[in-house]
Amino acid sequence: MKKLFSMLIVTFILIGIFSSCNSNDTDTNSKTDNSTDISLNDGSDISNDSSIDINSNINSNLHEKHGNKVYIGYEEKDIYYPEIREYEEVSDCFDIPLGEDGLKKVGAYLKFIETYDELSTYIIPTEFDSSILDLNYVVCVKQFFYDDTHEKRLIGYYDLIFSEGKYNICLDYYKSEDQVPHEQPADPYVYTSFIVVPKNSVEYTEQLQQITVNGKNDIEDEIYADDEGSLLPSPDKSSHGYVTHNASATLPENPTAWVVEKGSELEKSFGLEYYNKHSKIDFRVVLYLPNEPKYDFIITEKEIKNGNLYLTVEQYLQYTNDYLSINDVKFYDLYIQDTSELAENFDVYLLVKTVK
């Protein structure tokens, strides 16, 4: 079995979960596709959790169910500051300040860059219109911290404000499936981003400033330990697991879903193998997508309503899913422990929010 199939997503979206920042999607463009015959190869498609405690008694009425249709809708999520990603580095924008112990001081810092001449002393962007700086600053943001699990992936910054003598910025990030938490020494990480911020939205300073991110001085993670002490995403949070299948199994042409009973003929017909093999989970909601998404994604919302399943997914165009393509992933365990509220032939409504 390939290494990646032993990996779980630990998803931590700061929007409305553990940040103090409140974002909204008022500027999103949306469309809906009710067809179930959807190709997911080109990356334009990708493929609050009604759960009970994992240790609760299994409802005697639970049984296998076959989903009816999967409806996929799309939105563009565009709330983040533009970021300069392609550039040649000339020199370091600034050094992380040292603490009293002589070591780099954990935290987040920013420096305003007002002109293109100043910017070019630090980086030379591959494509950049210098007139952008007539109405905007380029702000260099650095975060320095020690991470004993795995590297975080930044989605984007937004809402930089100066209030009560302090700067605060909002950040969304997640942890990808290809970076699984495991016990290892804490390593230092430095994230450097060059974002474009309107001049009329924030107070300028020439000084290097330590800032808070999402109202905090550090990023806290929410994880739990399973019966064997391994770190896993909390099942009632936004998470899912990849499921291996028998390569010779006959697979459906269109997206679909099932409630699959442990050890059942349905499970055996596809040769499904789960990473999270909790003996107390007898029924799993499994989503099938005939083609893998091109870009990295996470599930941010799960809800059972009127007998149907509603999922919200975010996919990130700056991160590709090469690790999925190598392993031919098509089945996803949605970590829903209570399936009793799903109808016998439930529909799945999948909203895909593409993050620019």
- What is the tens place of the pLDDT at every residue in 322-355? 766 666 778 988 988 889 999 999 999 999 998 8
> Does residue 41 register a pLDDT over 60?
no
Average pLDDT over residues 241-253: 88
Determine the pLDDT at residue 26: 37
Which residue type does 174 have? Y
For the record, the structure tokens of 162 come out as 């100066």
Average pLDDT over residues 1-15: 34
Which residue type does 50 have? S
CA distance 307 to 334: 16
| 331 within 8 A of 270, measured Cβ to Cβ | yes
Q: Report residue 233's pLDDT band, with 50, 70 and 90 as the boundaries.
A: very low
Helix (H, G, I), strand (E, B) or coil at 311: strand
CA distance 347 to 216: 40
> Does residue 20 register a pLDDT over 70?
no
Determine the pLDDT at residue 88: 94
> Does residue 285 register a pLDDT over 90?
yes
The residue ranking higher by pLDDT, 62 or 299, is 299
State the residue for tokens 């809906």: 32
The residue ranking higher by pLDDT, 186 or 291, is 291
Determine the pLDDT at residue 27: 42
For the record, the structure tokens of 323 come out as 């690790």
| 293 within 8 A of 319, measured Cβ to Cβ | no
CA distance 191 to 171: 12
Determine the pLDDT at residue 4: 33
Which residues are CB-neighbours of 127 under 8 A, at least 6 positions away? 86
| 308 within 8 A of 343, measured Cβ to Cβ | yes
State the residue for tokens 């940040």: 19
| CB-CB neighbours of 59 under 10 Å | 13
Averaged pLDDT of the chain: 75
Q: Give the strands of the sheet with 273-274, arranged side by side.
A: 65-66, 256-261, 283-288, 331-333, 241-244, 273-274
Determine the pLDDT at residue 342: 94
Which residues are CB-neighbours of 352 under 8 A, at least 6 positions away? 45, 46, 72, 73, 74, 75, 297, 313, 314, 315
**Distance from first CA to last CA of the chain, Å, rounded?**
34
State the residue for tokens 């404000």: 161
The residue ranking higher by pLDDT, 299 or 22, is 299
